[in-house]
Amino acid sequence: MTGDTTHGLRLALRGATLGRAGAPVLDGIDLDIVPGEILAVVGPSGCGKSTLLRTLAGLLPALAGEVDEDGEPVTGPRAERALVFQDDALLPWRTVRSNVELPLAIRGVGRAERRARAEEWLTRVGLAEHAAKLPHRISGGQRQRVQLARALAAGPRAVLMDEPFGALDAQTRAGMQQLLVDVLRGSGATVVFVTHDVDEALFLGDRVALLPGGRVLPVPRPRERAAHTDPATVALRREVLESLTP
Amino acid sequence: MSGRWSLVRRVLSVVAALGLWQALTSYDINLWLRFEQFPTVTEVARAFADRVSGDAYWQDLTDSLTRIVTGFALAAVLGVAVGTAVARSRIAADLLGPVLEVLRPVPAIALVPVAILLFPSNEQGIVFITCTAAFFPVMVSTRHAVRALTPVWEEAVLTMGGGRRRVLWSVVLPGALPGILGGLSVGIGVSWICVISAEMISGEYGVGYRTWQDYTVVDYPGVFVGMATIGLLGWLTSTAVELLGRRLTRWLPRAESRPAALPARRLPAPAAPAAPSVPTAQERVRS
């Protein structure tokens, strides 16, 4: 990933305990997320994947330890760190275009430019002709593409994705993964991608972080689905799967 | 087609009700219920035509409408503001909650003595009572609707860098709107009850005042003209609220099969925030 558009954020957790007060789910986590990388986070359900993401987004303060962005402590949500949710985080009363324009409006971008940039992003995710529709008029997969466009339209330095394709069928999912790689190529943003699907993690991630332990493993490249048969990837896949079964 | 039959049925039901009234009164039916003193439909219609041609009727009508529109508009603004504040802010809930909960069960019409003590003129007192009556349904449904909002909408706006004000205008108010409109629909109905009652007790002019005056001088057809006027005005105003509501919540997913012929008569929009059910067409992503 070459950072020509934005310079990705460096996100770090040091000895962090995460969760709600009185109910920590992750304890003593150390994680260094390199600018511009795609870090796939996998782990069994309930292990704290979403908690980790919400903490990085600034929606949930750490109970102990440090959570940093570029060396500064994360104190709350910020437009620099965009969050993509699993489903239906689009505002249902706004059209597709108007949803994508929202982060730009919040940043104070003028009406004409806002509209042009929203149209541009909708074209990139293949939804230009659906711009004037309401979210419930398009399919689940299309809505996730709109969420992606909305997250990226304002040029965030980090994109935090919480099982964004979790509710989609297998075929749509594969298409979305490829789209994500294409869209992110050259954006420079740091991406944290939470999933429970090992193959998705291996396809998307530059590295894979395993929760609840926090071990990080590099993923062999090039990024191709065919590569899933090469010995290094097969070995990694086995290792990840073993870490997921207690 | 189904829309036309629906209209026919509606007209038939009104005609049947009027026919029954006419039959019972013109034959002076006197079983356990006594209809001999009751004015007939034709007597009422004659009185109605007579009243409509005079200025006093329109004066009363304008007075009542002015009172209800003023009181209801104030209640809508205050109810939404207070309901939102109580739902969103712990401090507001602590400060306002107990007072509101104690005042809520008091029927607005029981506030007539308070209104007489507080306000320099009857006019303001009546508006006060109308406003209080509509305030509580609007406030309560706003509070529920705001509390029931999907948290991801707010989190999405927060992670876009939006502040409290942005969350309020871009998420809370539009998201709570279907529920708020339910409260407004109830509120306009209660407002009519209270404006008429208040006029009967302390009004000068107005449909309620006139209806009571007619009763005291034993002008029964006049009383029924008043009742019919109240019914028609009430129906008109609640239809206006309903139409406004449907216009503002066009984003709500609606069943395609619902007949579009008579949209105004439909029930108010559901109070729950929209959880759009989706026709998930399998789609292929071009990338």
Model pLDDT for residues B270-285, shown as the tens digit of each residue: 444 444 333 333 333 3
The pLDDT, as a whole number, for residue A214 is: 67
Q: Supply the DSSP string of B76-120, one letter for each residue.
A: HHHHHHHHHHHHH-HHHHHHHHHHHHHHTTS-GGGGHHHHHHH-S
Give per-residue pLDDT as tens, B49-76.
888 888 888 988 898 899 999 999 999 9
User: Which CATH number is B45-250 given?
Assistant: 1.10.3720.10
In chain B, whose CA is at the least distance from the CA of A140? B280
Chain A interface mutation, best of B152, B172, B287, highest count of A Cβ atoms under 10 Å: B287
The pLDDT assigned to B10 comes to 92
pLDDT tens profile A202-225: 888 888 888 777 677 777 776 666
Asked if the C-beta of B247 comes within 8 angstroms of chain A's C-beta atoms, the answer is no
**Mean pLDDT (whole number) for B88-92:** 91
Is residue B106 within 8 A of residue B49, CB to CB? The reply is no
DSSP-derived 3-state class of residue A88: coil
pLDDT computed for residue B142 by the predictor: 95
The residue that leads in pLDDT, A49 or B265, is: A49
Q: Which of A83, A93, A175 is nearest residue B159 as measured by Cβ atoms?
A: A83
Among the ranges given (A1-5, A24-28, B12-16, B244-248), the one the predictor scored with the smallest mean pLDDT: A1-5
H-helix or E-strand containing A17?
strand A11-20
One-letter amino acid at B91 equals I
CA separation, residue B214 to residues B9, B200, B209, B225 (Å)? 34, 11, 9, 10
Task: For chain A, list the domains and their CATH numbers.
Answer: 1-80+157-246 (3.40.50.300), 90-155 (no CATH)
pLDDT at B278: 37
CB contacts of A91 in chain B (<8 Å) are 153, 156, 170-171, 174-175
- Which of A143, A145, A175 lies closest to B284 in CB terms? A175
A78-125 residue pLDDT tens: 888 889 888 778 999 999 999 999 999 998 889 999 999 999 889 888
- Pairing of the two strands A215-218 and A207-210: antiparallel
User: Has residue B1 got a pLDDT over 70?
Assistant: no
Q: Do residue A79 and residue B160 have CB atoms under 8 angstroms apart?
A: yes
Q: Which residues of A touch B158 (CB under 8 A)?
A: 59, 77
Render pLDDT for B129-143 as a digit per residue (tens, 0 to 9): 999 999 999 999 999
How far does B162 lie from chain A, in Å, by closest CA? 6
Write down the pLDDT at residue B79: 95
Is B189 an 8 Å CB contact of chain A?
no
Percentage of chain A exceeding pLDDT 70? 93
Token couple for B105: 């069960």
How many alpha carbons lie under 13 Å from residue A17 in its C-beta half-sphere? Answer: 8
What pLDDT does residue A197 have? 82
Summarize the confidence of residues B194-220 as an average pLDDT: 85
- How many percent of chain B have pLDDT more than 70? 87
